[in-house]
Structure 1
Amino acid sequence: MSKRLAKQLLWWQKTREEEEDLSVSNMASPSGCSHYVRSCFLKAPCCGKLYVCRLCHDAEENHQMDRFKVREVQCSECQTLQQTQQTCQQCHMQFGEYYCDICHLFDKDKKQYHCQPCGICRIGPREKYFHCEKCNLCLAQDLRGNHKCVENVSRQDCPVCMEDIHTSRIGAHVLSCGHLLHKSCFDSMITTGMYRCPLCMHSAWNMKDQWVEMDKEIAESPMPPEYHGATAKILCNDCQTHCTVPFHVLGMKCSGCGSYNTAQDGGLIQQPQLIRVNVPLFIHSF
């Protein structure tokens, strides 16, 4: 048996003996968990159990831990239960390189900072982000004055996975329409060929090159003669323009902005023309 394994087993046995009426998650370890690098356990204010983090707690229990109400932690080195602080009062073990006494977040230093308007900690560095008051969210500095504001946008769930965005550890992607998706959900959209915001149907990125290709494809694929002159009313999902354009099964181009991200609004205005076949009035016999 390796020394490291023996040390971990000894620590586990000691914890089991001294825990009394406190239970410790079996996911806990002196080095932290899959979510955070830390050397302590949080005592859940809701159930009194010890977990490395709130996410480990929420995955095991049928309720959620309120991070802001955590008042006690247990050192993973000496098992001393104590008030929340960055360093163990007994063995002086540092619980985390970064510590927030509001969120009670312990973790490896990732240039985190606590954003008061957001109410939680964000991964920084702080100088590379700003808090948009209308969106109520921290955004990268290059989006300052360069994004469409949607009020309290981060308080909405991700429209792809329907999970929380505001407190998620997964980064968010800001679409040109102002709506948010998890970065991983946005990447999945790209791989599956989805190019529109699931909420407002606006193009999720600049589609100019794709529209040029669509122009070429439609020019090379004329409609049958009976559809020549047929038109339809459309609504553009990108600029909200209502217009009447030539009908084509491959796509109908907005006359306002040139986008093919359009939806047909009603049937054809000019119905397809039936091809007349000349039939002789009399049948001659020979």
Structure 2
Amino acid sequence: MVLMEEYMVNSCKPLESDLEDKSDKYKETEAAASRAHESDLDSFFKGATNDDSNMEEWLDQGLMQYGCSHYRRRCRIRAPCCNEIFDCRHCHNEAKNNINVEGKLRHDLPRHQVQLVICSLCGTEQEVGQICTKCGVCMGKYFCGTCKLYDDDISKNQYHCKGCGICRIGGRENFFHCYKCGCCYSVQLKNSHPCVEGAMHHDCPVCFEYLFDSRNDVSFLPCGHTIHVKCLKEMQQHLHYTCPLCSKSVCDMSKVWEKLDMEIATTPMPESYQDKKVWILCNDCGATSQVQFHVVAQKCLNCKSYNTRQTRGCQPSDD
């Protein structure tokens, strides 16, 4: 199982693209607040030059009080793609990929291309950095200059993976980067996961969300394919136990096969079907077999799995 970069989301709306469309009265109020904030800042630094506790207190102003449903942070970002302001890239992507947006206008925000942020406390637009250049507030306790990621909630144990090229959560010591698969996995899977090139660089086969930078937990199936944990659980709730991509079993089905053995043994076929044979393909081992037809299921002669499909009936020459 892999912990991805961020947590689950709620829909968000884009923020104002500019401060220009605010009323004059609001501008005056904002300017007055900014001047007062600057005055407080000057007074603070005059008396706190050698006081680390006061400095930390200042940096933590507004901690966990700003942000959106995705991040607690004290800044907003200006999207380089559309020049609009949003709380974070997920807010942008939700707004710009909404079903109500014309198809050709839908797009994602390229996280690494963000150049400008707006301090949530003083409203100053500036280049990407952890500390506001005007009011001196820390805009994110966790900051990554590569991903342009700000987050005040450091309980997620964020870290930047150079192999992935993005930030992930869960603690660097708990994960390793597999260079063949091209992503991070739990250290518990280091010697047991099946290596599949680019295993995470595709969409979830159920919900079609891109798995590589998904905010939801991902499960590695025995066949090597990957899928959201919640999507896998939903499949199992609807009695689907095979991979949506290759149809191999996603868990140990031996108990189910035993029940099918008993059901077939107690369900004799009509006399006209007792000698009917068909060709089957096993989804689990890939073997083809000629077996006796049964309305309940056909069993693979190679691996004894009932996860099979009929490929053709028997012709007279096959007997």
TM-score, structure 2 as length reference = 0.73
- The answer to whether the Cα contact below 8 Å between 1:230 and 1:269 also exists between their aligned partners in 2 is no
How far apart are 1:237 and its partner, in Å?
0.5
- The match for 1:37 among 57, 72, 82 is 72
Corresponding letter in the other structure for 2:213: T
The match for 2:115 is 71
Corresponding letter in the other structure for 2:127: Q
5+ residue gaps, structure 1: 1-11, 20-28, 272-286
Query: Which entry has the higher C-alpha Rg, 1 or 2?
Result: 1
CA distance in 1, matches of 2:265, 2:145: 64
Secondary structure in structure 1 of the residue aligned to 2:72: coil
Secondary structure in structure 2 of the residue aligned to 1:155: coil
CA distance in 2, matches of 1:269, 1:35: 61
1 or 2 for the larger relative contact order (CA 8 Å, sep ≥6)? Answer: 2
1:102 paired with 2:149, answer: no
- The answer to whether the Cα contact below 8 Å between 1:156 and 1:164 also exists between their aligned partners in 2 is yes
CA 30–14 in structure 1, closer or farther in 2 if over 3 Å, else same:
farther
1:210-255, CA deviations, whole angstroms, 9 ceiling, x for partnerless residues?
Answer: 1112112212212122222322211110011111222111111111
5+ residue gaps, structure 2: 1-21, 31-63, 97-105
CA 45–30 in structure 1, closer or farther in 2 if over 3 Å, else same:
farther
Whose helix fraction is larger, Structure 1's or Structure 2's? 2
The match for 1:83 is 127
1:192 paired with 2:242, answer: no
State percent identity of aligned pairs.
44
CA distance in 2, matches of 1:71, 1:46: 11
The match for 1:181 is 227
Corresponding letter in the other structure for 2:123: Q
Corresponding letter in the other structure for 1:129: F
CA 209–63 in structure 1, closer or farther in 2 if over 3 Å, else same:
same
The match for 2:268 is 222
Corresponding letter in the other structure for 2:75: C
Corresponding letter in the other structure for 2:290: T
1:38-77, CA deviations, whole angstroms, 9 ceiling, x for partnerless residues?
Answer: 1110111222222110111122233322110112211111
- The answer to whether the Cα contact below 8 Å between 1:42 and 1:52 also exists between their aligned partners in 2 is yes
CA 36–266 in structure 1, closer or farther in 2 if over 3 Å, else same:
same
Q: Which runs of structure 2 are paired with 1:231-242 in the superposition (5 Å)?
A: 231-242=277-288
The match for 1:212 is 258
Corresponding letter in the other structure for 2:288: H
Corresponding letter in the other structure for 1:114: H
CA distance in 2, matches of 1:244, 1:142: 41
CA 32–262 in structure 1, closer or farther in 2 if over 3 Å, else same:
same
Count of residues in Structure 1 that have an aligned counterpart in Structure 2: 252
- The answer to whether the Cα contact below 8 Å between 2:65 and 2:72 also exists between their aligned partners in 1 is no
- The answer to whether the Cα contact below 8 Å between 1:229 and 1:270 also exists between their aligned partners in 2 is no
Secondary structure in structure 1 of the residue aligned to 2:159: strand
Corresponding letter in the other structure for 1:236: C
TM-score, structure 1 as length reference = 0.81
- The match for 1:17 among 27, 36, 46 is 27
- The match for 1:244 among 284, 290, 311 is 290
